[in-house]
Amino acid sequence: MAEKEAGLSIDDMAVFCKKKGFVYPSSEIYGGMAGFFDYGPYGAELKNNIKQDWWKFHVQSREDIVGIDGSIISNPKVWIASGHAAHFGDILVEDLKTHERFRADTLIEETLKIQADGLSAADLGKLIKENNVKSPKGNALSEPRQFNLMFTTNVGPIQSEESKAYLRAETAQIIFAEFKNVYETSRLKLPFGIAQMGKAFRNEIAPRNFLFRCREFEQMEIEYFIHPKKHNDCPYTEEVMVEILNIYSEEMQEKQQKEKEMTVKEALSKGIIKSPWHAYWLATELRWFINLGAKRENFRIRQHKKDELAHYSSDCWDLEYNFPWGWKELQGIADRSDYDLQQHMKHSKKDMSIFDEESKEKVIPNVVAEPSLGVDRSFLVFMFDAYDDDKKRGNIVLHLHPKLAPIKAAILPLVNKLEGKAKEIYDSLKQEFFCFYDRSGSIGRRYARQDELGTPFCITVDFDSLDKHDVTIRDRDSTEQVRVKIKELKETIRKLLSSELNFKDLKRE
């Protein structure tokens, strides 16, 4: 599988994120804890901006999707019904000498350079035997076996089997458990979606690659419900027909071909993507990333092979990103049929069917697509695509989309004498945008500091500002500077941040 040319590694990114106040290893003063991270001042802003934009794009700007915010711990029966309590796991192998444990599929993928995700314990064991796969330390491995990833806790004052509960391993199940409540209180008609974002917890065997695989992370998920007999009626496909997708179908993988770019129209007409709903959601999700400044060439969509599919799923595609260590899942978009609603109906004995007014029948809706995205993986994508070691400037520049940038504008008095005016401007702007006031160091050093945090605009107050009532705005990406009247500053920044105005057009005004 093609790996990116040597560039910024994930370890370099972790070092940068720590140094600049984006992300720290959790509880580092006590030696840290594998798979847990704390977002620092700029990371927390960036992460919140990602989540806010996702919510606006997927929930608030649509009529067909509503959002919920469910609890992290729920009745354990939710996880028994969903199958997580019994079957949600990965297959592990143990180094028979050091007793270190590894995910069997990852170890095989790294050693044999093949795709092993989704293979059974028996198949993984066969591959280990046939290819004499050893642990990273060169020792023999145990037989592969299942390991459940659910974190458990106890609820209430008595710690017993009866008080045992689970931390949610995905946000999705809360959507299914609340399906009837949401339907009855939100006046939705099929087809419709329910979205949720929030924390999820998995006791990963081997958390690795910084934020890519952690034990505590966040998800942004949608369950999209349709009438069970209307799998081909997607009213939105026209909106995305011209979108170009970099497709890696099951057939291409089997024939060991490379991924291929084509429009949604071509992929549907040639039957490469069979479901119009899948095509719609893949293109929509890609569009969300591209609109926020991610680089198109770093994305592809890969179809799951038959042996990767859950037994109830007829098709699943991943939106993959070309991370420094190769193409990896960023988002899964699965067809889950009516499996989850049926399971909750069976276990709770509550009716999950709804009355479809159009067909005048009672139906159990099908989940035709479950776009399920990790916030922390998205954070990495935006950071990698924004990161630029600008040799000419002599500093790192984060070309983050203004919507995502943690700080929107920095206010810099050229010398200390100008602090009064600069503070006045800062006090006014900070009412509306997250701004930063910086008076220390040379102006060049202060610009570099803001470049490294991805601040799109620096506002410099100089001696002319006192007489002419204007300031300079410096554009992060071009380093060009333009003078703007102080009374027009707020409006100008507002327009620049919302892309209503381009910096280069500002000059000509």
Q: Which residues bind ligand GAP (CB under 6 A)?
A: 170, 172, 202, 204, 213-214, 217, 219, 221, 329-332, 370, 372-374, 376-377
Q: How far is the CB of 219 from ligand GAP (least distance, A)?
A: 5
Contacts of 77 (CB under 8 A, 6+ apart): 347, 348
Nearer to ligand GAP, 81 or 496 (CB): 81
- Whole-number Å distance between alpha carbons of 319 and 328: 8
Instruction: Select the residue whose beta carbon is closest to ligand GAP and give its number.
Output: 374
Nearer to ligand GAP, 141 or 222 (CB): 222
Nearer to ligand GAP, 329 or 475 (CB): 329
Indicate the helix (H) or strand (E) that contains 495. helix 486-497
- Whole-number Å distance between alpha carbons of 268 and 288: 21
Contacts of 56 (CB under 8 A, 6+ apart): none
Q: How far is the CB of 36 from ligand GAP (least distance, A)?
A: 11
Instruction: Decide: helix, strand or coil at residue 39.
Output: strand
Q: How far is the CB of 381 from ligand GAP (least distance, A)?
A: 10
Nearer to ligand GAP, 165 or 220 (CB): 220
Nearer to ligand GAP, 103 or 408 (CB): 103
Q: How far is the CB of 202 from ligand GAP (least distance, A)?
A: 5
User: Which residues is 474 bridged to in the sheet?
Assistant: 458, 481
The number of angstroms, rounded, from the C-alpha of 142 to the middle of its chain's C-alpha atoms is: 34
Q: How far is the CB of 380 from ligand GAP (least distance, A)?
A: 9
Nearer to ligand GAP, 23 or 373 (CB): 373
Q: How far is the CB of 47 from ligand GAP (least distance, A)?
A: 13
Decide: 155 and 172 in contact? Cβ < 8 Å: no
Which DSSP string corresponds to 219-287? EEEEEEEE-TT-TT--TTGGGGTT-EEEEE-HHHHHTTPPPEEEEHHHHHHTTSS--HHHHHHHHHHHH
Q: How far is the CB of 329 from ligand GAP (least distance, A)?
A: 5
Cα–Cα distances in Å, from 178 out to 71, 172, 451? 11, 10, 44
Nearer to ligand GAP, 281 or 447 (CB): 281
Q: How far is the CB of 318 from ligand GAP (least distance, A)?
A: 7
Nearer to ligand GAP, 336 or 474 (CB): 336
Phi and psi based region of residue 484 (left: phi greater than 0; alpha: psi -120 to 50; beta: remaining):
beta
Nearer to ligand GAP, 33 or 448 (CB): 33
Phi and psi based region of residue 479 (left: phi greater than 0; alpha: psi -120 to 50; beta: remaining):
left
Helices (H) and strands (E) in the chain, counts: 18, 25
Cα–Cα distances in Å, from 426 out to 169, 379, 448, 451, 509? 43, 28, 19, 19, 24
Q: How far is the CB of 203 from ligand GAP (least distance, A)?
A: 10
Nearer to ligand GAP, 170 or 462 (CB): 170
Q: How far is the CB of 260 from ligand GAP (least distance, A)?
A: 23
